[in-house]
Amino acid sequence: MKASTLAVHAGKIHEKDYKPVNSPIFTSSTAYYTHEGECQYPRYYNMPAQESVVKKIAALEGAETGYLYSSGMAAIAAILGGLFTKGDHIIFQSDIYGGTHFFITKELPKLGIEFSFIDVNNSDALSATFRANTKGIYIETPSNPLLKITDLEKIAAFAKTHHLISIIDNTFASPINQTPLHHGIDVVMHSGTKYLGGHSDLIFGVVVASKELVGKLKEHSINYGPCINGATCGLIERSMKTLSVRVHKQNENALWLAEHMERLPFIDKVYYPGLASHPNHDVAKRQMKGFGGMLSFELQATEEQIIRFMNALQVVYPAVSLGGVESLITSPVYTSHVKIGKEGRTAMGIKDNLLRMSVGIEDAEDLLMDIQQAYKRI
């Protein structure tokens, strides 16, 4: 079945007495004890509501199974702490989510796990960074905030040659636009807080992979306990039924906006993988089914005007996070990339006048008009 069908139906719990359309929400944190098998308990990741949501996400990603976590960061912590051990070395894409970067630099040294940050699209840098104790490679594509694309098949091939576990943060693409397991990547994680939840009202994370790799996460996950309860699972299931329609509309809006914004005289540059002008457009076309709802642009404005511009917007809302039905805008200089400093940002190609937009499901013309009226006011 195709993604739009799976988003609605996969994982549904078939309750035999009442035969409801929706999965029933079992609020119970325990169930009838039998002497065979494992006890039912939420922290064991085996309650029906958890399993139902995992089945839906695994079906969309083409994975065997997975686990749900209390946040995207909890999922990342489970992957890095559960699949790797003291003395291992992991290669990370340099431009990854700020929170992940912070986790790696603060927490991995405590675990005795070594790491390198590199431009993973540079094959020479990849080979030069590989060590005898390298066990994993971790990427994120499209990246934040410049929407750079990492070639999934190249990374998967490198990982296979060197027997590494390859991991991707697939949050920006969502499984509607990109299914990395089909390109040979081993482990997919999402901050479900973004597109999977989709209404800016939930926080959760998910990891999907083979039964073997997910099995390896089990002990770590049970020990640390970053699980979620049944009521939240019910909200996730409800939200995810519309994942495909939401993401298709976001793709369509973002592409239309990117094309129109590229022609506005007061915008210097638009970063969107769906544009022919994007340096990785060909790779994006090969590995993505849609180009996503995230775009960035450089506005002809001073720092002070940028703030006034964001406040003058009437529809687009200045707020961090992304993936919801409403359009949001942020200045990476003041939010995600503040800790990196101006020099670091310049090295990464992030200018002071860069703005990042999470395009929602509103009417695209209204969004464009909002940008035009706000610019007039500054």
To the nearest whole angstrom, how small is the minimum distance from the Cβ of residue 75 to ligand PLP?
8
**Using CB atoms, what's the residue nearest to ligand PLP?**
72
The contact pattern for ligand PLP, residues 40-79, with x = CB under 6 A and - = no contact, is -------------------------------xxx------
Is 295 an interacting residue with respect to ligand PLP (CB under 6 A)? no
Catalytic residue among 45, 67, 69, 97: 97
Is 98 an interacting residue with respect to ligand PLP (CB under 6 A)? no
Ramachandran angles phi, psi of 197, nearest 5°: -70, -55
Query: What distance in Å separates the CA atoms of residue 137 and residue 156, rounded to the nearest whole number?
Result: 9
Query: What distance in Å separates the CA atoms of residue 239 and residue 195, rounded to the nearest whole number?
Result: 9
In the region spanning residues 197 to 256, those forming contacts with ligand PLP, defined by CB under 6 A, are 203, 205
Catalytic residue among 194, 246, 249, 356: 194
Query: What distance in Å separates the CA atoms of residue 329 and residue 322, rounded to the nearest whole number?
Result: 9
To the nearest whole angstrom, how small is the minimum distance from the Cβ of residue 71 to ligand PLP?
3
Known catalytic residue at 97: yes
To the nearest whole angstrom, how small is the minimum distance from the Cβ of residue 173 to ligand PLP?
10
226 membership: H or E segment, kind and range: none
Phi-psi region of 250 (alpha: psi -120 to 50; beta: other; left: phi over 0): alpha
**Collapsed DSSP state (helix, strand, coil) of residue 148:** coil
Amino acid at residue number 71: S
Known catalytic residue at 43: yes
What is the CA angle 231-232-237, rounded to 5?
Answer: 100
Known catalytic residue at 289: no
To the nearest whole angstrom, how small is the minimum distance from the Cβ of residue 335 to ligand PLP?
12
Q: Which is nearer to ligand PLP, 53 or 267 (CB)?
A: 53
Q: According to CB under 6 A, which one of 4, 24, 40, 99 is a site residue for ligand PLP? A: 99
Q: Which is nearer to ligand PLP, 26 or 84 (CB)?
A: 84
Query: What distance in Å separates the CA atoms of residue 35 and residue 325, rounded to the nearest whole number?
Result: 46
Catalytic residue among 88, 151, 169, 370: 169
Is 195 an interacting residue with respect to ligand PLP (CB under 6 A)? no
Q: Which is nearer to ligand PLP, 251 or 336 (CB)?
A: 336
Is 171 an interacting residue with respect to ligand PLP (CB under 6 A)? yes
Known catalytic residue at 334: no
Is 175 an interacting residue with respect to ligand PLP (CB under 6 A)? no
Q: Are 126 and 118 in contact (CB under 8 A)?
A: yes
Catalytic residue among 12, 43, 218, 345: 43
Q: Which is nearer to ligand PLP, 171 or 250 (CB)?
A: 171
To the nearest whole angstrom, how small is the minimum distance from the Cβ of residue 348 to ligand PLP?
16
Per-residue b/e over 68-104, b at no fewer than 16 CB within 10 Å? bbbbbbbbbbbbbbbbbeeebbbbbbebbbbebbebb
Q: Where are the alpha helices (DSSP H) in the chain?
A: 3-9, 48-61, 72-83, 98-111, 123-129, 152-161, 174-177, 211-224, 230-240, 243-261, 281-287, 303-312, 341-348, 364-377
Q: In what order do the strands lie in the sheet with 267-271?
A: 267-271, 294-299, 354-358, 328-330, 317-318
**Residue 145, preceding bond cis, omega within 30 degrees?**
yes
Is 169 an interacting residue with respect to ligand PLP (CB under 6 A)? yes
* Active site members: 43, 97, 169, 194
For binding to ligand PLP (CB under 6 A), which residues are involved?
71-73, 97, 99-100, 140, 169, 171-172, 191, 193-194, 203, 205
